[in-house]
Structure 1
């Protein structure tokens, strides 16, 4: 036990002195979290109440078109103005034009459209569908009210009867198992996971440097086992991972609101959140250990570990959320350990899950950690014997 503690102290001192590695492990994920959360908050919020800004033009100038325009302005999804000019992603995203023949089209007297919707060229398909759906919803209320009036009902009564908002109650207290994360809920755990796995770079280079200097062989002459040596080596990195977890969650909760972004809510089950973080760390350390056991130079370790982590992040939902990927890519993402970890974090942070919600991703991460660590220790022992 004394030998283990002494070895841990030695590894911790070496790691603390390597401020380049510490900067990589702490500053990099913090910068990514801030940039990606700020840049994507509106994109992620489109389905969550953010209004799309566009133009409204009434070329009919009739009582019916004015009534329809008034109802359009009352929708929660669209912010309408009377601007003139080109449409762009940086300005007005769409234009709704009530055509001169609006009344005739409304009465079914011709085959022309009464409303024309045009979009900025770069506007995505999802946003176009949202605008179209919002306009159709308003027209459904407007047209049905007109029909009810024709049948002799008072207009206010007709609108109230058609809407009947109290007839359907939506329960918003229980998070849905299919809830889509916000930009902050997606990016804080995603880049935290990426940073945890990026521990492979400093860890693998440290192991290879000591192997080249035969430091490990000299330590073994004192009777220390390979398992003890690598347990001591991994412990400081495990502590670093837990510090990353705490600091990135704190940054999401406290720093992002100061910068104008939505804060990360932490009124969740903190126990399962910490457990999925620990399981992620163990899988990351095991992968780093196997990498260190299979490469022969620090240059190979740096390039290979960085490439593997970027690949796992790309297919695992870190760089591109899994829920926006096509089905084929979602099936591929299911094989990435970063996707398992992200599933666990989102289950807690977004859907309010507890122990049962993280059971499967935690089991996958622990199983992977055990398999990779067994392989790593076996390869390290064989390498020492060959040396």
Structure 2
């Protein structure tokens, strides 16, 4: 036991002297959390498409064209500007064609192409959700103007009945309630970018420990430290455990620090505040399981490589690949179905789902237990492979004359 404690102290001393390694483990994910949480803030907000610049070009000048422009602005989605990335062009003849559209409906249904009344021109740099919001707002405004014209001029509906029908057909007055629900069915707050990026880059930081851990392992092996420890009777399992425990403490420190940044620092910079859910034990559980998976993978790589260059390249490549596939760099929700299916292969995706069970879905530790068990199993398999590879390499070394 005394030897194990001494080995752990040695690893902690090595970590404290490796300033570049600590910079990678703490400063880099912190910067990613701050930058990505602020950069993607509007992508997660339901009101991000409100108050957008819009240019209306009225080439008709008729009263129906004016009613259409007024209805478009009443939606609250746009603010009129002279030059904007979204332009709505009302063609000449809009009022006449809209007034006679009811009479020509049979011809249009018969296959005759219907002339366009409005063009919506959107710059290539406009996000897809903004394009969809602009298209929907234009169609709703056009439908409102046409419905008003039909009620007043075609059906000759009395004013009081028109008011009732106008109210009933207004999308804002439809009896539909939208809400986000947690694991227990209770209403929760809408997802935010910080709930995506804090867990995601926290997980990435844990797995990125493969580089300093593997590099230190290779250096010790090249200097003969590992051979001397084995000659003193230190077992391979004890040796691997003495490296795993200090990095587990580092991973927990990373988790506490990154969560604190999401709770207090990101809001100070204008971002959303991270909600931690209602299960501290669940956070510890999924964080510990993620650490076990990351350390197991790191030790497996450390035993397999033979140089510090290999450790850096292999460790970095594996971490980046798992992050790209696992929904860390690109949110899973925007991936196509085939890519979402691939995320199941990445332990980072399992960990991210576990953190979401706590901070997003407001579940308890039982909801995160499946992901925690999967991560723990992955970590134990990697540790077993590392121990087996270490034993084989020592056997080969002893047999070499």
Q: TM-score, normalised by structure 2?
A: 0.86
Tell me the residue number matched to 1:53.
Answer: 53
- Mean Cα deviation higher: 179-188 or 286-295: 179-188
Tell me the residue number matched to 1:174.
Answer: 181
Residues 251-296 of structure 1, C-alpha deviations (whole Å, 9 max, x = no match): 1221112222222222443332232121111100000000011111
Whether the 8 Å contact between 2:326 and 2:344 is mirrored in structure 1 is yes
Whether the 8 Å contact between 1:340 and 1:361 is mirrored in structure 2 is yes
Instruction: Tell me, in whole angstroms, the C-alpha distance in 1 between the residues paired with 2:176 and 2:58.
Output: 35
Tell me the residue number matched to 1:297.
Answer: 307
Matches for 1:154-173 after TM superposition, within 5 Å: 154=160, 155-163=162-170, 168-172=175-179
- State the structure with more CA Rg: 2
Q: Secondary structure at the match of 2:181?
A: coil
Whether the 8 Å contact between 1:272 and 1:355 is mirrored in structure 2 is yes
- Mean Cα deviation higher: 26-35 or 213-222: 213-222
Shift of 1:245: 0.9
Q: Does 1:211 align with 2:214?
A: no
Tell me the residue number matched to 2:40.
Answer: 40
Residues 92-111 of structure 1, C-alpha deviations (whole Å, 9 max, x = no match): 33112233322112223574
Seen in structure 2, the aligned counterparts of structure 1 residues 166 and 114 have a Cα distance that, compared at 3 Å, is closer
Tell me the residue number matched to 2:143.
Answer: 140
Whether the 8 Å contact between 2:53 and 2:81 is mirrored in structure 1 is no
Whether the 8 Å contact between 2:57 and 2:88 is mirrored in structure 1 is yes
In the alignment of these two chains, the number of paired residues is 378
Shift of 1:242: 0.9
Q: Secondary structure at the match of 1:123?
A: coil
Whether the 8 Å contact between 2:328 and 2:348 is mirrored in structure 1 is yes
Seen in structure 2, the aligned counterparts of structure 1 residues 270 and 62 have a Cα distance that, compared at 3 Å, is farther
Shift of 1:368: 0.8
Residues 102-160 of structure 1, C-alpha deviations (whole Å, 9 max, x = no match): 21122235743332211113334443223112222333344334434432243433322
Instruction: Tell me, in whole angstroms, the C-alpha distance in 2 between the residues paired with 1:323 and 1:267.
Output: 21
Tell me the residue number matched to 2:115.
Answer: 112
Q: Secondary structure at the match of 2:89?
A: strand
Instruction: Tell me, in whole angstroms, the C-alpha distance in 2 between the residues paired with 1:115 and 1:108.
Output: 16
Whether the 8 Å contact between 1:102 and 1:114 is mirrored in structure 2 is yes
Seen in structure 2, the aligned counterparts of structure 1 residues 241 and 263 have a Cα distance that, compared at 3 Å, is same
Seen in structure 2, the aligned counterparts of structure 1 residues 324 and 180 have a Cα distance that, compared at 3 Å, is farther
Whether the 8 Å contact between 1:253 and 1:263 is mirrored in structure 2 is yes
Whether the 8 Å contact between 1:105 and 1:113 is mirrored in structure 2 is no
Residues 217-245 of structure 1, C-alpha deviations (whole Å, 9 max, x = no match): 32334443222222121111111111111
- Mean Cα deviation higher: 230-239 or 23-32: 230-239
Q: Secondary structure at the match of 1:300?
A: helix
Q: Secondary structure at the match of 1:265?
A: coil
Q: Does 1:386 align with 2:396?
A: yes
Matches for 1:231-242 after TM superposition, within 5 Å: 231-242=241-252
Shift of 1:201: 0.4
Matches for 1:1-387 after TM superposition, within 5 Å: 1-45=1-45, 47-51=46-50, 52-76=52-76, 78-83=77-82, 85=83, 92-109=84-101, 111-149=114-152, 150-154=156-160, 155-163=162-170, 168-172=175-179, 174-175=181-182, 181-387=191-397
Residues 10-42 of structure 1, C-alpha deviations (whole Å, 9 max, x = no match): 211221111111111000101111222222223
Whether the 8 Å contact between 2:300 and 2:385 is mirrored in structure 1 is yes
Q: TM-score, normalised by structure 1?
A: 0.88
Shift of 1:43: 3.4
Instruction: Tell me, in whole angstroms, the C-alpha distance in 2 between the residues paired with 1:161 and 1:192.
Output: 48
Seen in structure 2, the aligned counterparts of structure 1 residues 171 and 319 have a Cα distance that, compared at 3 Å, is closer
